[in-house]
Structure 1
Amino acid sequence: MHKTSNMTVYRENLKTKILDTSMLLFKQKGIRAVKMDDIATEMGISKRTLYEIYSNKEDLLYECVKYDSEKMTHQMQVYAEKAENEMDVIAFFLKTKLKDLGTINPKFFLDTQKYERIVAFLQEYNERQRANSYMFMKKGIEHGFFRDDINYDIVHRMSDASMNYVMQTKMYRKYTLKEIFHTFIKVYLRGCCTSKGLDYLEKFMSDSKIMK
């Protein structure tokens, strides 16, 4: 029984390490450039071991995207529980997102569009996040950080359209993803803030230097 329990723990830990390693490689090189052999070599495990857990690359990629998305959501939830206010949460999100974008090859986003199951998952995930965002903005309005004269459904849809335009026109060939996101946030987020919200935003940005 004890041996079986240890094997289960080992296997679960191995699965997590595979997801972390694979996602890192996918983001750095793009999905098409990474082979299952590359992942096994990077981890120092046999191809057989890798295929015993994930039978093909698409299944592995799907689990990677799901795992990475849920990990980000969990990070935000944990931080929000101890945050001073909504602007503190936003500052943490920006810091985390900008750090992540600084390591991502744009090919990663392009390659994900070729997998229908992953596109469907991301659409469903974004819908859930949009619902959470509405609740978040509502609290921010109540606390005087966000304007109450803006239709945030339109804002979210415009932001989605803007990001799609960035990918479709391959704007990342001229500007880095980090710079594009930086500019995007300045335009959209600042426009949603009240003077009180802007004061907090400027303070957090200055202290953390995440928008430099």
Structure 2
Amino acid sequence: MNEKTIFLEKVSELFFENGAKAVTMDDVAKHVSISKRTLYEEYKNKEELLTAILDFKLQKIIDTIKTNDAENTNAIEKVLIKDNDFEKFSSTNQSVFIRQLLKYYPSIFDQHILNMNEKISEFLVKNIEKGREEGLYRADFNESLYIRFLLKIMLSFENSVLFENEQCERSNFCFEGVLFYLYSISTEKGREILEKAKLKQ
């Protein structure tokens, strides 16, 4: 693990624990034991640092997806990710962080969503093609639209008044969202495999 990765891991934890708004660049410098001058040489402001954190966390999710995708499994099992790092990321105090991003740094959040859509869509489009070849997914739905439906569901945990008082863990919420997506696109054969795959989780 290189120095930049270690730095972003530590700083991510600081922001997730305290929120996007409350943490200052002074706090960051103290947390990782570097001078403010050194910090500002790497990141000219807090907005740039927040962007780097979001890119870093998104890449970790993409790496997890790629690792899972490389396994010799069917299309449905490739989507049902239950990885320790992914769970750890999902179960942090991320809701406060995301809600503060939405309120105080909306342009950063919007760009993050566009990046997420681009990177995850690439995987999901290939997954849909594989699922159709295996007879697990329906042929009569709009891939691009359904992928955006899934991302919208995932983001609704922090971005909807309907879930402000949700009691379940974020990781469980996301997993249920993935199940909702898979059931909506699966054939009868696919649903049988989905039921079996759920038991393995």
TM-score by length of 2: 0.79
Alignment partners' CA distance in 2, 1:100 and 1:190:
25
- Name the residue aligned to 1:48: 37
Does the C-alpha gap of structure 1 residues 94 and 186 become closer, same or farther in structure 2, counting only changes over 3 Å? farther
Q: Which amino acid aligns with 1:71?
A: K
Contact kept in structure 2, 1:87 and 1:201, CA below 8 Å? yes
Does the C-alpha gap of structure 1 residues 129 and 161 become closer, same or farther in structure 2, counting only changes over 3 Å? closer
Q: Which amino acid aligns with 1:207?
A: K
Instruction: Tell whether 2:100 aligns with 1:111.
Output: yes
Larger Cα-atom Rg: 1
- Name the residue aligned to 1:150: 141
- Name the residue aligned to 1:100: 89
- Name the residue aligned to 2:164: 172
Q: Report the CA distance between 1:199 and its aligned residue.
A: 3.3
Alignment partners' CA distance in 1, 2:9 and 2:198:
29
Alignment partners' CA distance in 2, 1:91 and 1:109:
23
Q: Which amino acid aligns with 1:45?
A: I
Over the matched positions of the two proteins, sequence identity in percent amounts to 26
Structure 2: runs of 5+ lacking an equivalent: none
- Name the residue aligned to 1:8: none
Q: Report the CA distance between 1:165 and its aligned residue.
A: 4.9
Aligned pair count?
197
Q: Report the CA distance between 1:31 and its aligned residue.
A: 0.8
Q: Which amino acid aligns with 1:112?
A: L
**What SS class does the counterpart of residue 92 from structure 1 fall into?**
coil
Does the C-alpha gap of structure 1 residues 19 and 76 become closer, same or farther in structure 2, counting only changes over 3 Å? same
Contact kept in structure 1, 2:101 and 2:109, CA below 8 Å? yes
Q: How do 1:34-113 and structure 2 match up within 5 A?
A: 34-92=23-81, 97-113=86-102
Does the C-alpha gap of structure 1 residues 24 and 50 become closer, same or farther in structure 2, counting only changes over 3 Å? same
Instruction: Tell whether 2:193 aligns with 1:203.
Output: no
Alignment partners' CA distance in 2, 1:121 and 1:110:
14
Deviates more, 1:16-25 or 1:79-88: 79-88
Alignment partners' CA distance in 1, 2:58 and 2:111:
13
Alignment partners' CA distance in 2, 1:94 and 1:201:
18
Structure 1: runs of 5+ lacking an equivalent: 1-11
Alignment partners' CA distance in 1, 2:183 and 2:75:
14
Alignment partners' CA distance in 2, 1:81 and 1:134:
15
**What SS class does the counterpart of residue 44 from structure 1 fall into?**
coil
- Name the residue aligned to 2:114: 123
Q: Which amino acid aligns with 2:3?
A: L
- Name the residue aligned to 2:180: 187
Q: Report the CA distance between 1:61 and its aligned residue.
A: 0.9
